[in-house]
């Protein structure tokens, strides 16, 4: 199983680097800022979930992380369709986002079945 804390932190670094690339090289600020916010928020919410006081708190934070992963994938699709990302760039980072999303779903299913 994927270490979700490490994966989401590594993903946040990739998102930040993509943001820098889009901002400096392509002079794109609006979509890249949206991507930066949602893409780095995944890991922040996973980290908060890990420090949750109760199981309910853990599940709530993981749900927020999942929502942020969905949003991140949306912005990546828009960036691909507007040709801000080429297919190689898109496929690589979109795959990572999908793995994180699937891992969070598994964690949520497991957490809910433990009740």
Mind giving me the DSSP string for the chain? ---HHHHHHHHHHHHHHHHHHHHHHS---HHHHHHHHHHHHHHHHHHHHHT-SSHHHHHHHHHHHHHHHHHHHHHHHHHHHTTSS-HHHHHHHHHHHHHHHHHHHHHHHHHHHT-
* Prediction pTM value: 0.94
Q: Which CATH number fits domain 4-113: 1.20.1440.60, 3.40.50.300, 3.50.50.60, 1.10.1130.10?
A: 1.20.1440.60
**Over the stretch 18-49, which tens digit does the pLDDT of each residue have?**
999 999 999 999 999 999 999 999 999 999 99
pLDDT value, residue 2: 83
User: Residue 103: which of 62, 50, 49 has the closest Cα?
Assistant: 62
């Amino acid at each position: 199983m994927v270490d979700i804390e490490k994966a989401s932190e590594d993903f946040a670094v990739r998102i930040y680097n993509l943001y820098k690339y889009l901002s400096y090289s392509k002079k794109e600020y609006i979509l890249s800022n949206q991507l930066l916010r949602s893409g780095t928020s995944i890991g922040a919410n996973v980290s908060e979930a890990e420090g949750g006081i109760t199981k309910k708190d853990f599940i709530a934070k993981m749900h927020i992380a999942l929502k942020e992963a969905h949003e991140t994938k949306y912005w990546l699709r828009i960036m691909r369709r507007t040709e801000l990302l080429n297919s190689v760039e898109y496929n690589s980072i979109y795959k990572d986002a999908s793995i994180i999303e699937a891992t969070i779903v598994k964690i949520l299913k497991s957490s809910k079945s433990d009740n």
